[in-house]
Structure 1
Amino acid sequence: MRNNIITTALAVATAVYADCPDYLSYALVPHGPFSGGTYNLSYMRPDPACRTFNSTIVESAVTNISNLITDPDLKRLFVNSYPNTLDTAIKWKGTANGSDEELTFVITGDINAMWLRDSANQMQSYLPLLTASDAYNSLASLYRGVINLQARYLLIDPYCNSFQPPIESGVSPSPNPSASDDTVRPNYTNTSIFECKYELDSLAAFLEVSSNYYNATQDATFFKKYQWVDAVETILQVATNMTVPTYTADGNVSVLSYSFTRLTNRASETTENGGLGNPFNNGTGLIRSFFRPSDDATIFQGFIPANMMFSRYLASASLIAAAIGENDLAQRMSCMASGLRDAITASGIVTTRSGGQIYAYEVDGYMGHNIMDDANIPSLLAAPFFGYLDVNDTVYQNTRQLILSAQNPYFMRGPDISAIGGAHDGPGYAWPMAAIVRILTSNDDAEITQQLQEIVSTTDGLGLIHESINTYNISDWTRQWFSWANGLFGQMVLDLEDRKPELLKQSFQGNSSTA
């Protein structure tokens, strides 16, 4: 009966959505009513009948929090941004064939595919509102669907980062022309995989969304029902495989379980040495990552932020394994997490010319290290946000001071916005996501106020958080529809309402100053 109800509901929804505008186009055009503030921000929420998932809890939060915001443009940006994933990106929700296993297919926004990392973070936006519930229309059900579908994807190929719609959805796969040049993977098919870049943080994302759900609901039973344990075992195997050094003890070149090449004119879209990447010496104990969370290739595969995130969520997810009686698995997870933390401390901390200690962005296990940071999470800036360390940690604060300065080659500065960017969009493009993370990891009222001012004033009137913005021309930006960044902005506003509510009473109607 439940499956029949779901099928009927989906059929009705499909008929309604057929009359709805494509949000990719809708989000490019301003819509009234406008905010009436200096920046006169557009209203960007779809009609309620066109929203992809409706949650009364989220709607109440949008109303309640917006009523606490004084500035009309900040209020409008919050109202547009926080529900954006639910409004636009729950492409399909249903159950697996012949089962009651919930599945949730979440797109990033303007790309019709599900990234492990993005979908986990899109769900995290609503973590403050998550409670235990069996209801099909609950946030808890959305979470369970994402966890189940991610587990399925990991069992298809755990080295891949982005996937096509599940067959049950009836949603057609989307072509990815670039992916046709990938080194062939055993399970690669455009009907199931969208992109196959191995990123350690994608594995960490599955552990993150699992831990977030468990900690909020204490629903251990769920994790025994389907493929969660198999997915975690697969993750541990990949992590072990990716500790193999480039050279064996006698100097032979190791055979790796993964390689990647692509025909491209961008170095960040492929890897060195015929797909193996730059040499990696694993006396470090770190786990390799071929790509960053920006989907750009690492220079040195000892990618510190992803190792931090993996260690943090491997430890927390081990509590789930213990709660369902998988004691051996829990022990192996806990030991690997602890070993990684030691490895990060031993190999990821470097001494600058001035004598201070900072975290490197990447290391190779020889003598090479890359001093920078990128806007995408996990980043060095975000380490306290995802719980790896305390915001007052001395090495973190040293690192923060450097990466929020011109000493970071990807800290973009301009008259309208100054924030960390990255190789993905290139020099001159600051990412609002990094400005949001800066707020989430700051206790300085002046710093937070400045960053809010810059964010509010640089949406080009559209009232949505873009991927990146030209620091000298706010009308030159990338991605009008990027659900993760929008949800993160809303999550940040909820955080401010909790710890610094007085800042939401300020006016942001003036011009920002350069950081």
Structure 2
Amino acid sequence: MNISILLSLALVSPLFVLAACPDYAQFAKELHEPFSSGSYNLSYMRPAPECRTFVSQSVEDTIARMQSVIRDPDLYRLFQNAYPNTLDTAIKWKGYANGTDEELTFVITGDINAMWLRDSANQMQSYLPLLNASSSPDSLASLYRGVINLQARYLLTSPFCNSFQPPVESGISPSTNGAASQDSVYPPYNSHSVFECKYELDSLAAFLEVSSDYYTATKDISFFAKYSWIDAIATVLDVAEAMKTPTYAANGSVLPSPYSFTRQTTRASETLENNGLGNPTQNGTGLIRSAFRPSDDSTIYQLFIPANMMFSSHLSATSKIMALLNTTHSSSLATRMETIANNLGTAIESHGVITHPKYGRIYAYEIDGYGGETVMDDANIPSLLSAPLLGYAPASSQIYQNTRALLLSADNPYFMRGPVLSAIGGPHIGPGYAWPMASIVRIMTSSDEKEIVEELGAILGSTDGFGLVHESVNSWDGSDWTRQWFSWANGLFGQMVLDLEGRMPQVLNISFQRGQRVGGY
């Protein structure tokens, strides 16, 4: 529909305009004018203002300001499209819990109409540089509070699950997940509130992350004493402790597992071995099991190191919040949180560090406690490459640098190489497909200007003219990519650009035009 017609109808009926707005899943498959003035001729991919799902003036002001900071017109267009993508398209519903003033925010991941704990926490993190204390319902702070409150509800309802349906208050009908129709999951779940129930340790860590991000930016300690946050934290701790359960008891008998999952599928990564138990795990390591990775693929060995890193780091941060609350159980919970976080750090360094014949001491991706180990990385965060972003290990750490050298080489079985994009991928899409998200993480964990410029140029050339960050791209064919609407990756790109403005602004003053030299590189 013509934008001028939409604007005139908006004066009569805002509800009509919302109904008339195009489905972004289809909108994002087509190129739209005005195109950028650079050689990549990138499409303008923001929906019309009246069709955006949430408007933040601070975000709009940042987008406008960055036009004079980013020299390259194509790089600016990619930032302009990508950074606001979650606000423009993915705030599916925002409101209040029935009969209360408890804010709720339902954030979809993009082209899948469900709310992942991990994705929604990271989608909010994109706007962390602009977050400040505010009671306004139109603020980023309100969005954050709504996400935290809704995640707490989800965790109290189904703490082993990773992806959820709209809250009943929204009036939005639950989505059907056809892949889940043949699931056998313990503990059982209700499909009216849960979209998918893959137990992923990083989902629990995501709740800690978004909580700690909100407090760090706002210092709004009173919020955490309201509603269900304390109870949700206690539930997170209970699940984490339960998932230290090994496969066998000391006498050799098989222990009941707190969680199991099977699915009828043609993909091995969509189900667990041994009738849903997964491969045997020997604990005593102090590490927490994870049945699935942040890619939603099953782990090979359930002692998944990146998620343990993430959980340890953010549990330590949120323990500081808990310690400031003056409630009956907050003090004991704070002590419990800090103890678990410290013990996990010790466990990671004791059991998650292995000696590689070529790279020396590195972090394993997964272990089983029996000596089994997986040496690789996956693009999805948490990853080994992202350890500094998780707040776990400084980029200068020798073990991290050794690990990084392996991950960004052909010795990582999921490091994809090709003329379009060379980056870490993963089994979720499969060999040959590099993930721009991994290139973004590579930039954010690097202080090497040449490396950063090369990666930035590669990302810019990987959008196939759409000016959006795809999930994955064929390293040898830029027209072959997955997911035109993946809000997390887009927001992360914008977050990365703002990070570069602060620590390496000269990179944003470089031309990335095809056929031209890029600065001195």
State which of 333, 343, 348 in structure 2 corresponds to 1:344: 348
What is the rounded CA distance, in whole Å, between the counterparts of 2:346 and 2:135 in structure 1? Answer: 40
Q: Secondary structure at the match of 1:373?
A: coil
**1:461-482 alpha-carbon deviations (Å, 9 max, x no partner):** 0000000000011111000000
2:38 paired residue number: 37
TM-score (norm 2): 0.95
AA aligned opposite 2:233: V
Inter-partner Cα distance in structure 2 for 1:125 and 1:332: 30
**CA distance, structure 2, for counterparts of residue 87 and residue 336 of structure 1:** 38
How far is the alpha carbon of 1:76 from its aligned partner?
0.2
CA distance in 1, matches of 2:445, 2:187: 41
Residue number in structure 2 paired with 1:125: 126
- Give the TM-score of the pair, scaled to structure 1: 0.96
Question: Is residue 501 of structure 2 the alignment partner of residue 500 of structure 1?
Answer: no
Paired residue for 2:415, among 404, 411, 417?
Answer: 411
SS in structure 2 of the partner of residue 18 of structure 1: helix
Shift of 1:14: 4.1
Give the CA deviation at 1:16: 2.4
Q: Mapping of 1:193-342 within 5 angstroms?
A: 193-325=194-326, 326-342=330-346
C-alpha distance in 2 between matches for 1:184 and 1:346: 32
Gaps of at least 5 residues in structure 1 are 1-8
2:407 maps to 1:397: no
- Mapped contact 1:66–1:78 kept (Cα < 8 A): no
- 1:107 partner amino acid: I
Distance in 2 of aligned mates of 1:190 and 1:278: 27
> Which residue is equivalent to 1:59?
60
Find the aligned partners of 2:185 and 2:372 in 1 and give their Cα distance: 30
Identity of aligned pairs, percent?
66
Cα deviation per residue 1:203-251 (whole Å; 9 max; x = unaligned)?
A: 0000000000001101010011100011000000000110011000000
Are 1:432 and 2:436 counterparts?
Answer: yes
| SS of residue paired to 1:154 | helix
Amino acid of the residue matched to residue 282 of structure 1? N
- TM-aligned CA deviation for residue 430 of structure 1: 0.2
The answer (yes or no) to whether the contact 2:185–2:262 under 8 Å persists in 1 is no
Query: How far is the alpha carbon of 1:67 from its aligned partner?
Result: 2.0
Confirm or deny that 1:83 pairs with 2:87. Answer: no
| 2:186–2:261 Cα contact (<8 Å) kept | no
In the other structure, the counterpart of 2:490 is 486
**Structure 1 residue 512 displacement after superposition:** 11
Q: Which amino acid aligns with 2:241?
A: T
| SS class of match (1:260) | strand
- What's 1:151 paired with? 152
Map residues 467-478 of structure 1 onto 2, 5 A cutoff.
Answer: 467-478=471-482
Q: 1:380 and 1:12 mapped to 2: Cα distance?
A: 50
CA deviation after TM superposition for structure 1 residue 323, in Å: 1.0
Task: Output one character per residue of 1:140-174: Cα deviation in whole Å (capped at 9) or x when no partner.
Answer: 00000000000000011110000000000011111
Q: How does 1:97-108 map to 2 (within 5 A)?
A: 97-108=98-109
Residue 109 of structure 1 corresponds to 110
* Residue of structure 1 equivalent to 2:163: 162
SS in 1 for 2:260: coil
1:336-359 deviations in Å (ceiling 9; x for gaps): 000000000000000011361000
Q: Over aligned residue pairs, what C-alpha RMSD do you find?
A: 1.5
| Gap runs ≥5 in structure 2 | 1-9
Alignment partner, residue 3 of structure 2: none
Once the two structures are superposed, the pairs formed by residues 23-34 of structure 1 within 5 Å of their partners are 23-34=24-35
Q: 1-side partners of 2:20 and 2:506: how far apart?
A: 42
CA contact (8 A) 2:302 2:368 kept: yes
SS at match of 1:105: strand
CA distance in 1, matches of 2:462, 2:437: 13
Counterpart Cα distance in 1 of 2:54 and 2:170: 15
Q: Secondary structure at the match of 1:508?
A: coil
- CA spacing shift, 1:416–1:512, aligned 2, 3 Å: farther
Deviations 1:365-408 (A, max 9, x none): 01110000000000000000121111100000000000000000
1:37 CA drift (Å): 1.0
The amino acid across from 2:217 in the alignment is A
Partner deviation per Cα, 1:401-459 (whole Å, 9 max, x = no partner): 00000000000000111000000000000000000000000000000000000000110
Q: 1:327 to 1:420 in 2, by over 3 A?
A: same
Determine helix, strand or coil for the equivalent of 2:314: helix
> Aligned with 2:184: secondary structure?
coil
Q: Could you tell me which amino acid in structure 1 is paired with residue 159 of structure 2? A: P
Contact kept, 8 Å, 1:131 with 1:217, in 2: the verdict is: yes
Deviation readout 1:272-298 (Å, 9 max, x if unpaired) = 000000000002110000000000000
